[in-house]
Amino acid sequence: MSDKVRECCSGWYEGKCRLSESVQGWGCRLMVCVPDAMPNNEHDKKVLFHHVYSFAQENGILECPHYREAIIDEVIDTPARLLEMVVVKSPLRTDLLSVKNE
User: Percentage of the chain with pLDDT > 90?
Assistant: 33
Yes or no: say if 97 and 42 are a contact pair by the CB < 8 Å rule. Answer: no
Residues 6+ apart with CB under 8 A from 64: 1, 5, 8, 9, 28
Residue 66 counted as domain residue: yes
Residue 78 counted as domain residue: yes
Residue 99 counted as domain residue: no
Q: If you count them, how many residues does the chain have?
A: 102
Q: How much is the pTM?
A: 0.76
Residue 95 counted as domain residue: no
Q: What is the mean pLDDT of residues 38-55?
A: 94
Residue 94 counted as domain residue: no
Residue 79 counted as domain residue: yes
Residue 96 counted as domain residue: no
C-alpha–C-alpha distance, residues 16 and 46, integer Å: 27
- Domains in the chain, number: 1
Of 13-17, 60-64, 83-87, the one with minimum mean pLDDT is 13-17
Q: What is the mean pLDDT of residues 15-41?
A: 83
Yes or no: say if 15 and 76 are a contact pair by the CB < 8 Å rule. Answer: no
Please give the residue range of the domain that contains residue 38.
3-89
pLDDT of residue 94: 55
Residue 49 counted as domain residue: yes
